[in-house]
Amino acid sequence: MGRELSELQIAENVEHILRAISTRVRREGRKVLRDFPITPAQFDVLQILYFRGEKRMSDISDVLGITKSTTTGLVRRLMDGDFIRKHRSVKDKRSYMIKLSPSGEVLVESVIKRRVEFLHCVLKRVDSPKPQNYEKLLRELLEAMQQDTDGPNKIGGRK
């Protein structure tokens, strides 16, 4: 008779598996960066702008959890490489908005394409009758997470 895993042990295993998958997918996508003069930290800035739209310098600092001076250095080097552009905010003339340039967009999309191709190859090798089940299960997991972090039962909050 096999020993059943507790819900906590299953959660630990799922966390470990998701972390390992995320690391491998991220690593594969970042191989594209070898052809460009940017660092992984600079690429993190590009991803924020790609997925969230233009941002103020302080917003980028907050999302990345880094100092404003570090963000300034990252942004300056990305501007020098023509991956991003800076312009005055329409709402507040005292602040600047940072947005992706066309070449920054192309770079992020190249990384995403590499990640998708990698996952496509891996999914073809998986011995499963329906790979679509992975998408369905992962979508359900994401939706449950969004409810927990966005809804009344926030993780760490009152239930």
Q: Is the pLDDT of residue 152 over 60?
A: no
Q: Where are the domains of the chain?
A: 8-150
Rounded CA separation 127/124 (Å): 8
Q: Regarding the domain delimited by 8-150, which CATH topology (the fold level of the hierarchy) does it fall under?
A: Arc Repressor Mutant, subunit A (1.10.10)
pLDDT at 153: 44
Q: How far apart are CA 101 and CA 96, in angstroms?
A: 15
Kindly tell me if the per-residue pLDDT of 133 is higher than 60.
yes
Q: In whole angstroms, what is the distance from residue 34 CA to residue 15 CA?
A: 29
Residue pointed to by tokens 């960066």: 33
**What pTM value is reported for the model?**
0.80
| pLDDT value of residue 111 | 95
Percent of the chain with pLDDT over 90: 66
81 residue type, one letter: G
Q: In what order do the strands lie in the sheet with 96-100?
A: 55-56, 96-100, 84-88
Model pLDDT for residues 63-80, shown as the tens digit of each residue = 999 999 999 999 999 999
